Structure 1
Amino acid sequence: MSIRIARTTLTALALASLAATAAAQGAGKIKVGLMLPFSGTYAALGVAIENGFKLYVQEQGGKLGGREIEYVKVDDESDPAKATDNVNKLIKRDNVDVIVGTVHSGVAMAMAKAAKESGTLLIIPNAGADAVTGPMCAPNIFRSSFSNWQPAYAMGVVAAKEGKKTAITLTWKYAAGDESVNGFKEGFEKNGGKVVKQLTLPFPNVEFQALLTEIAAAKPDAVYSFMAGGGAVKLVKDYAAAGLNKSIPLYGPGFLTDGTLDAQGETAQGMLTTLHYADGLNTPKDNAFRAAYAQAFKLQPDVYAVQGYDAAQMLGAGLAATKGDFGKKAELSAAIQKAKIDSPRGAFTMSKAHNPVQDMYLRKVEGKENKVVGVAVKALADPARGCRM
């Protein structure tokens, strides 16, 4: 009798343990750390990413992989000096399951280092630092946006095909700027052009006058610039005020005119940029996304909102494969890598280095839209130089 009771007790304990495990895996909330800029130059970008991410979660009934989502927000202030402390607070103090962030490439590099060391899942919804999917690549690090090389390389191809022979580049002197102008140079010079000068200024300095005077004197066929947010607004306005837009076209990746057209007004009209998203795609997926976003937030979505939305889609794909179990890290990562993401930008897959393989659109500013003109480069994969995974 005592043996039978003991067996019954053991069985009950085992079942209770299994039930507790199942409850922990299937019912507990998933903690998502949103480490984004909510103040400063890139504040609007951080808000758009957050909105996009939450929109997808809302569309799934507030759950991914059967698990409710809890958010922990940190304003990274686009400050690399504060990045390590901020990301470690999310990992060690808040015990988040996944980190989503950020915009600034310098901050993203610190986040990638911490994620790689701790094994925490990191999905980067904007920062294009080439090294994240290059030397820093890891099984638990993904990007839902682009590498700095991708839109830049595509713009170099376009500029050369338009017959431009010489170009000057202008950017903030930091990782994103350096990688972007190098990508443009690679695409431009591979197709017959020549970058004759590379001009820089410290981030977030927006005193462009001396550099514009230098450009006017050099008379290149084109200027390529990597700027975003408030810096992009100021550059485009100053460029037009100097009269340069009448004789020397200003090219850039889409960040030059994305989310900035209201402020740039007439000065941006007719500008060409390259990016993985554009207005006027007119696909069922994009039309539905734009309508839902506008209804939810009383704003029109931009590329940053799309990248936030797709970061949530990627997380959802991983959690669907593991039925919400974050303990199955290898299985979760493998599912994200294999997923085909049905994005508003057009469907994309992940490269082996965990960067999107995606079309780069050529866009033209018309009114307050970056209208699609065509595809600059189809299914462009980042070269992922230095990735050993």
Structure 2
Amino acid sequence: MSTLKKLAGAVLATTLTAVVPTHSIASTDDAVTVGIMLPFSGIYAQLGEAGRDGLKLALKEQSEKLHGSKIEYVELDTEAKPSRAPELASSLLNQHAADFIVGPVHSGVAMGMIKMLRGKDTIMIIPNAGAATATGPLCSPNLFRTSFSSWQPSYPMGKVALEKGYKKVYAISWNYGMGRESLDAFAESFEAGGGEIIERVLLPFPSTNFQSHVSDIADKNPDAVFTFFAGGGAIKFAKDYDAMGLRGKIPLLGSGFLTEGTLQAQGEAAEGILTGLHYAEQLDVPKNQEFREAFNTEYGKYPDIYAVQGYDAGQAIANAIDQLQGDVSDKQAVISAMEKLTIDSPRGAFTFSRAHNPIQNIYLREVVNGENVVQSIAAEALEDPARGCKM
């Protein structure tokens, strides 16, 4: 099968026609093409669908800001496979001439996309992947992120551990980018305050053979444990930790993905876990309540963090179009407009840093009765250091 036929088979294109405001100066024939590179099959399909749904909801809600432009969507399924990323990104850039390309979920896919899109005449918006490199050494004026860097959720947790009197911490994660970067970020703040990482364990991804390591934690008896696991790994680790009798004896801390989207499966084993993240479903922010009800009305379910991040990508696009009165042909003007935006997000308002990461609050959350309950702001308006970014 030819490359073009394969790509054509992967594309689903839809069009949203905006209400044309009376003050519009843009032709109603104008279209803004939004390419979506997210996983719609495989292990991350649910995350991709949530991000896409949030994106489309924002652009539907804010149709009056589009100055008569239609939004044309071109959706490509990445299947969370890094090997597919360059080909799909090239298709959106060269065949579809996308004005904005939103994606991906997986950091490996992000690296492939950036390889093709960095410095090109389109705006790439990352609605999830947290790889530090994307807005560090590979930062680019046309690359923005509406999610988080791997550093952001974990760095504040080192200070949280110190404030709770924990001096010796056992750190464990998978041996891949997000895992290593999360442990590094925690250690950066924890060790700077006098804490000691007594053991650092990196497991092959996606191994969930945790029992021997949980036994090792019991033997070493640290003041606390810090970890990054997500999805099925997070569920298994929490359950193994509880089964060993460590819950309630040795506090378990983590990047927020340890208890994000996993609480129902973790059940009682998650109670008391402390995590840091830029969102919580019950966050007391007016925009959050409005968004949750609107999302439920539109899709028949309540949103998660992946929907929030997609929604904010849509808000960024709508606001940039509005600032430029519908004309996004000059990508340098689009970049300048986006750099100045304040996004009224369900997580709380945020702006973009010099490296185009969100400057955002990180919330300290504790699992109480099966919910991530916000205890405090662990870090207010936290800006990723963007090490290696030369913009």
TM-score, scaled to structure 2: 0.89
1:52 corresponds to which residue?
54
Greater shift, 74-83 or 255-264, is seen at 74-83
Matching of residue 209 in structure 1 with residue 211 in structure 2: yes
Bigger share in helix: 1
- Deviation of 1:380 after TM superposition, in Å, equals 0.7
Equivalent residue for 2:186, pick from 175, 184, 187: 184
Equivalent residue number for residue 350 of structure 2: 348
Q: Deviations over 1:193-228 (max 9, x none)?
A: 111222122222222223223322222222211122
Shift of 1:117: 4.7
CA 1:311 to 1:217, structure 2 compared with 1: closer, same or farther past 3 Å?
same
State the match for 1:85 in structure 2.
Answer: 87
* Cα distance in structure 1, aligned partners of 2:68 and 2:255: 38
CA RMSD of superposed structures (Å): 2.0
Alpha-carbon shift at residue 28 of structure 1 (Å)? 3.0
> Of residues 260, 263, 284 in structure 2, which corresponds to 1:261?
263
Q: Does 1:75 align with 2:45?
A: no
- Is 1:380 aligned to 2:376, yes or no? no
SS of residue paired to 1:251: strand
Tell me the SS of whatever aligns to 1:217.
Answer: helix
Structure 1 gap segments, 5+ residues each: 1-21
Runs of 4+ in structure 1 over 4 Å off = 22-26
Q: Which residue of 1 aligns with 2:364?
A: 362
Alpha-carbon distance, 1:66 to partner:
3.1
Map Cα deviations across residues 100-144 of structure 1 (whole Å, 9 max, x no partner).
111221211221221115332100011111111111111100000
| Contact 1:65–1:322 under 8 Å retained in 2 | no
Conservation of the 8 A alpha-carbon contact between 2:359 and 2:384: yes
**Pair 1:325 & 2:319 matched:** no
Work out which of the residue numbers 226, 233, 236 in structure 1 matches 2:235: 233
Larger Rg: 1
User: Offset of 1:26 from its aligned partner?
Assistant: 5.2
Indicate if the aligned counterparts of 2:25 and 2:325 stay in contact, CA closer than 8 A: no
Match of 2:299 in 1: 297
Q: Using the alignment, how far apart are the partners of 2:215 and 2:44 within structure 1?
A: 27
Deviation of 1:27 (Å): 2.6
Q: What letter is aligned with 1:376? A: A
| Residue 313 (1) aligns with residue 315 (2) | yes
2:284 alignment partner, SS class: coil
Structure 1 residue 150: deviation in Å? 0.8
- TM-score normalised by length of structure 1: 0.89
The secondary structure found in structure 1 opposite 2:388 is coil
Q: Map 1:81-120 to 2 at 5 A.
A: 81-120=83-122
Counterparts of 2:293 and 2:169 in 1: how far apart (Å)? 39
More displaced, 314-323 or 345-354? 314-323
Give me the whole-angstrom Cα distance separating, in 1, the residues matched to 2:354 and 2:119: 20
Q: 1:269 to 1:64 in 2, by over 3 A?
A: farther
In the TM superposition, what is the alpha-carbon distance from 1:169 to its structure 2 partner?
Answer: 1.8
Shift of 1:57: 1.3
Gaps of 5+ in 2: 1-23
Tell me how far apart the structure 1 counterparts of residues 270 and 64 of structure 2 sit (CA, whole Å).
39
Deviation at 1:344, TM superposition (A): 0.9
Q: For residue 134 of structure 1, what is the aligned residue in structure 2?
A: 136
- 2:17 is matched with none
Paired residue secondary structure (1:200): strand
Q: Please state if 1:167 is matched with 2:186.
A: no
Give the partner amino acid of 1:358.
Answer: Q
Go from structure 1 to structure 2 and tell me whether the alpha carbon gap of 1:94 and 1:206 turns closer, same or farther (over 3 Å shift): farther
Of 124, 127, 133, the match for 2:126: 124
